[in-house]
Amino acid sequence: MSSDLLDALTALEQQKGISRDILIEAIEAALVTAYKRNFNQAQNVRVDLNLENGSMVVYSRKDVVEEVEDDRLQISLEDAKEINPAYEIGDVLEQEVTPRNFGRIAAQTAKQVVTQRVREAERGLIYEEYVDRTDDIVNGVIERQDARNIYISLGKVEAALPTNEQIQGEVYKPQSRIRVYITKVERTTRGPQIIVSRTHPGLLRRLFEMEVPEIFEGIVEIKSIAREAGDRSKISVYAHNEEIDAVGACVGAKGARVQTIVNELNGEKIDIVEWSEDPVVFVANALSPSQVLDVIVNEEEKSTTVVVPDYQLSLAIGKRGQNARLAAKLTGWKIDIKSETDARELGIYPNETSRFVQEDKDASFEDIGYDLYQDEEE
């Protein structure tokens, strides 16, 4: 093996980050293959590489046995002792069998095998790097698009953004930068396959963790997320310290924090509500921006009947039922919305057992001059 190859090993280790041991193993495997293929040898062999002078030696390996059944793989104890009296049954005897013209043939065969092993090692490193980043956000550059996917360059590897993970109506321009959420990393014969998303609720969670220090530090906790990507989302938050306003921390001064996330998602509306272990309070909060008069809970069916003022019925339901639908996903409770008039006719309002007291939860948003919500008329 020439000194040029040794220099190449060092360069690959430094530039590609591939361990020299992996490269040496690849070369040894290549030389064994070359020996067996070009010299019609089926015996068990080992190649020894001397990294100091670049030499290589091929050794045949034979098991020392009492009775020989295959002289290519075995040697009798009697013959082994003629070579070295110390040999015993079960030992492995090695003898040099390096052909004179082995170097040239081996180099040709080894080049292809080493190239393949290096490629596999690189793919392995990329896989290990990104498999640990599943459920995380990465920055990339949009490269190209076909009928099924948009391909995003993450630097060393491409990620695929499938059609069902794309936000409807969002424009993906080539060479533009984009943030995506890694949902899956798999090994394939062509290297690691990385699937990313722009619609996953986890993207919204990670964006809030990046923009809101209180969430990143664990002071404020995201309890649940309901998202209809590109249109509207709801997120419930809870502060472990009663002195901290969880919703206000996520909104930020004059809405700066949440506005950054809205801009990242190209105008997707985001409702931030306070989580409560009391389903009456939580469901009422989740239906914001609508005012709620009463919440009647059916624990057995995990359902609620919500009474709202007549003039806010359409706001509570939302366009095409979106507000009610997202509130149900956010809370995990079924929600049936009734107007005050209908509820009185049904005799379910006023409800003497109601534990819900309506609060002006949205006053703080008006005070800071940031309107998170817009009226939704059907």
Question: pLDDT tens-digit profile of 209-228?
Answer: 999 999 999 999 999 999 99
Is 371 within the bounds of a domain?
Answer: yes
Amino acid identity of residue 202, one-letter, is G
- For residue 152, how many other CB atoms are within 10 A of its CB? 24
Query: Could you report the per-residue pLDDT of 139-164, keeping only the tens digit for each?
Result: 999 999 998 899 999 988 999 999 99
Q: What is the pLDDT of residue 2?
A: 53
The domain that contains 299 carries what CATH number? 3.30.300.20
Q: Which residues contact 361 (CB under 8 A, 6 or more apart)?
A: 247, 273, 274, 285, 288
Query: Could you report the per-residue pLDDT of 10-44, keeping only the tens digit for each?
Result: 777 777 677 777 777 877 787 787 777 777 666 78
Q: Which residue has the higher pLDDT, 226 or 107?
A: 226
Last residue within a domain, chosen from 197, 221, 251 = 197
- Is residue 23 domain-shared with residue 113, that is, in the same domain? yes
Mean pLDDT (the chain) is: 85
- Is residue 123 domain-shared with residue 26, that is, in the same domain? yes
Is 240 within the bounds of a domain?
Answer: no
- Is residue 75 domain-shared with residue 98, that is, in the same domain? yes
Mean pLDDT of all residues in 88-116? 77
- Is residue 47 domain-shared with residue 140, that is, in the same domain? no
Amino acid identity of residue 165, one-letter, is E
Last residue within a domain, chosen from 197, 213, 247 = 197
Predicted confidence band of residue 253 (pLDDT cuts 50, 70, 90):
very high
Question: Which residue do the tokens 């309506």 mark?
Answer: 358
- Is residue 120 domain-shared with residue 154, that is, in the same domain? no
Task: Say yes or no to pLDDT of 121 above 90.
Answer: no
Query: Could you report the per-residue pLDDT of 297-328, keeping only the tens digit for each?
Result: 999 999 999 999 999 999 999 999 999 999 99
Task: Say yes or no to pLDDT of 134 above 50.
Answer: yes
Kindly compute the dihedral angle of the four CA atoms of residues 110, 112, 117, 123, in this order, to the nearest 10 degrees.
160
Query: Could you report the per-residue pLDDT of 263-289, keeping only the tens digit for each?
Result: 999 999 999 999 999 999 999 999 999
- Is residue 85 domain-shared with residue 35, that is, in the same domain? yes
Q: What is the pLDDT of residue 124?
A: 84
Q: How far apart are the C-alpha atoms of 9 and 351, rounded to whole Å? A: 79
Q: How far apart are the C-alpha atoms of 284 and 133, rounded to whole Å? A: 36
Q: How far apart are the C-alpha atoms of 75 and 126, rounded to whole Å? A: 45
Contact between residue 335 and residue 287 where contact means Cβ atoms under 8 Å apart: yes
Is 88 within the bounds of a domain?
Answer: yes
Q: What is the pLDDT of residue 355?
A: 56
- Is residue 34 domain-shared with residue 109, that is, in the same domain? yes
Region of poorest pLDDT, from 79-83, 113-117, 164-168: 113-117
Is 263 within the bounds of a domain?
Answer: no
- Is residue 46 domain-shared with residue 72, that is, in the same domain? yes
- Is residue 120 domain-shared with residue 152, that is, in the same domain? no
Is 39 exposed, middle or buried, given 0-12, 13-18 or 19+ CB atoms closer than 10 A? middle
Closest by CA position to 3, among listed 52, 56, 54, 50 = 54
Last residue within a domain, chosen from 113, 128, 143 = 128
The count of structural domains within the chain is 3
Main-chain dihedrals φ then ψ at residue 211, nearest 5 degrees: -95, -20
Share of the chain above pLDDT 70, in %: 85
Question: Which residue do the tokens 């919703």 mark?
Answer: 247
Q: What is the pLDDT of residue 47?
A: 81
The domain that contains 189 carries what CATH number? 2.40.50.140
- Is residue 32 domain-shared with residue 138, that is, in the same domain? no
Is 235 within the bounds of a domain?
Answer: no
Domain enclosing residue 42, as ranges: 2-128
Query: Could you report the per-residue pLDDT of 44-67, keeping only the tens digit for each?
Result: 888 877 766 667 788 888 898 988
Is 165 within the bounds of a domain?
Answer: yes
Is 266 within the bounds of a domain?
Answer: no
- Alpha helices (H) in the chain, listed in sequence order: 3-16, 20-38, 77-83, 102-131, 201-211, 213-216, 246-251, 256-264, 279-286, 313-317, 322-331, 340-346, 363-367
Instruction: For the chain, give the number of residues.
Output: 378
Query: In DSSP terms, which residues pair with 334 in a beta bridge?
Result: 303
Mean pLDDT of all residues in 166-180? 93
Contact between residue 161 and residue 152 where contact means Cβ atoms under 8 Å apart: yes
- Is residue 46 domain-shared with residue 151, that is, in the same domain? no
Q: What is the pLDDT of residue 27?
A: 77
Question: Which residue do the tokens 């798999």 mark?
Answer: 186
Mean pLDDT of all residues in 226-247? 95
Share of the chain above pLDDT 90, in %: 53
Q: What is the pLDDT of residue 106?
A: 66
Is 267 within the bounds of a domain?
Answer: no
The domain that contains 28 carries what CATH number? 3.30.1480.10
